[in-house]
Amino acid sequence: MTRTQIQLPDRLYQRAKAFAADRELSLAEITRRGLELFLDRYPQPMPPSPQWHLPRVDGGGIKVPLEQLTKIAATDEATRSRPH
């Protein structure tokens, strides 16, 4: 356990000592319990998540030049618009 010193306003110290005496506890014990209650009530915020990046997709290595892709799309459109 770590020992520490704290400064309290006189009125708070008197109230805490009376509270501890009424319950047959030490001032140190009610201070520990109070800190535990406080820290349980106000937990630490979640650490910030890592910065999000747009996922990269592996296209499988197939590369079609834009001109060829335009021709393929035009051919497909022409084929679809013909009556059957």
**Which tens digit of pLDDT belongs to each residue from 6-57?**
999 999 999 999 999 999 999 999 999 999 999 999 888 878 778 888 888 7
Q: Is residue 62 part of a domain?
A: no
Q: Is residue 21 part of a domain?
A: yes
d(CA 13, CA 74): 85
Hunting for tokens 């047959």 — which residue is that? 24
C-alpha count within 13 angstroms, C-beta hemisphere, residue 65? 3
d(CA 80, CA 30): 81
Residue 47 host element (H or E)? none
Q: Is residue 36 part of a domain?
A: yes
Range of the domain at 25: 10-41
pTM above 0.85, yes or no: no
Could you give the number of structural domains in the chain? Answer: 1
